[in-house]
């Protein structure tokens, strides 16, 4: 079974500092990896994805993620955090099996950016 | 604008009642999905459908039912057999093969 792990329940960072939200994955074959952000009582907003190509993926709102095959990681990063980045972040991997192509999510990481 | 619409935004259910959550998309996506979100547990897959008139159970299908009579619509019924239905429910859709996923804004279901 394919899975993702987000080892941190919460990440705290000061505004203007770089931020990293960690994600590791376990898949058979080539992974399709995604990052989503969720604000309170809202749906998930797409940030970025890795399917193939460059290991450094640039996404929405200044976020980027680096696909590292040897470490099976796909950490989300931003050079300078904003207070408005405070939200819940989900890493996900696309299933690739007889169960179709549903996304399998990590448990989420709550990001708090303080002024 | 293309998108995915969930209704209602808030829903209250009495003990023993069945309720149906609506999910409609105009993205011409083949696949649709239902997820349940509980605090600290991420999103868990309830049911998914790859094509019209076909659907498959996900990880937590017990107490739920779905139908896929039209490509645009994938309603979820929470039956009285679901013992702990209070949660946030998210619907999503994707093209065949899962190269990208669009989520609705969710329905918050509360048992009263």
For chain B, positions 3-62, list CB contacts with chain A under 8 A: 6, 31, 33, 35, 40-45, 48, 50, 56, 58
- The model's pLDDT over A27-37, given as tens digits with 9 standing for 90+, comes to 888 889 999 99
Beta strand extents in chain B (DSSP E only): 4-7, 10-13, 19-25, 31-37, 43-49, 56-57, 64-66, 76-78, 87-94, 102-103, 107-111
- What is the percent of chain A with per-residue pLDDT over 90, rounded to a whole number? 78
Based on the number of CB atoms within 10 Å of its own CB, is B4 exposed (0-12), middle (13-18) or buried (19 or more)? buried
Among B99, B97, B95, B65, CA closest to B4: B95
CB contact under 8 A, B40 and A41: no
**Contact at CB, B90 and A106, closer than 8 angstroms:** no
**What does pLDDT average to over chain A?**
92
Q: What is the pLDDT of residues A69-111, one digit of tens each?
A: 999 999 999 999 999 999 999 999 987 666 578 899 999 999 9
Q: Give the pLDDT of residue A27.
A: 84
User: Smallest CA–CA separation between A106 and chain B, in Å?
Assistant: 6
- Percent of the residues in chain A that have a pLDDT greater than 70, as a whole number: 96
Q: What residues in B contact A90, CB-CB < 8 Å?
A: 42-43
pLDDT of residue A99: 58
Residues listed for chain B: 112
Question: What residues of B are in contact with residue A34 (Cβ under 8 Å)?
Answer: 101
Alpha-carbon span A106 to B86, nearest angstrom: 21
CA distance B90 to chain A (A): 7
A41 part of contact set with chain B, CB < 8 Å = yes
Residue A23: HSE in the Cβ half-sphere, 13 Å Cα cutoff = 32
Would you call B43 and A90 a contact, using CB atoms and an 8 Å cutoff? yes
Nearest to A113 by CA among A14, A20, A40: A14
Give the gap in angstroms from C-alpha B44 to the nearest C-alpha of chain A. 7
- Residues of chain A with Cβ-Cβ distance to B6 below 8 Å are 43
pLDDT in tens, chain B (112 residues): 569 999 999 999 888 899 999 999 999 999 999 999 998 788 999 999 999 999 999 999 999 999 999 999 999 999 988 889 999 999 999 998 788 899 999 999 998 8
pLDDT, one tens digit per residue, over A44-53 is 999 999 998 8
Residue-level pLDDT at A20: 98
């Amino acid at each position: 079974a394919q899975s993702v792990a987000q080892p941190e329940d919460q990440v705290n960072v000061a505004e203007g500092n770089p931020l990293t939200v960690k994600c590791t994955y376990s898949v058979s074959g080539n992974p399709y990896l995604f990052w989503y952000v969720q604000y309170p009582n809202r749906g998930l907003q797409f940030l970025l994805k890795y399917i193939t190509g460059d290991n450094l993926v640039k996404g929405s709102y200044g976020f980027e993620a680096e696909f590292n095959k040897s470490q099976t990681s796909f950490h989300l990063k931003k050079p300078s955090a904003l207070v408005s980045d405070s939200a819940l972040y989900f890493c996900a991997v696309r299933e690739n099996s007889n169960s179709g192509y549903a996304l399998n999510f990590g448990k989420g990481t709550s990001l708090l950016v303080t002024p | 604008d293309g998108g995915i619409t969930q209704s209602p935004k808030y829903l209250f259910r009495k003990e023993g009642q069945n309720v149906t959550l609506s999910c409609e998309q105009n993205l011409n996506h083949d696949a649709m999905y239902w997820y349940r979100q509980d605090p600290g547990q991420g999103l868990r897959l309830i049911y998914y459908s790859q094509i019209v008139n076909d659907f498959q159970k996900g990880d937590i299908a017990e107490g739920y039912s779905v139908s896929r009579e039209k490509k645009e619509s994938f309603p979820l019924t929470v039956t009285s057999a679901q013992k702990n239905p209070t949660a946030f429910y998210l619907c999503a859709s994707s093209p065949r093969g899962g190269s990208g996923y669009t989520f609705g804004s969710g329905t918050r279901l509360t048992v009263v």
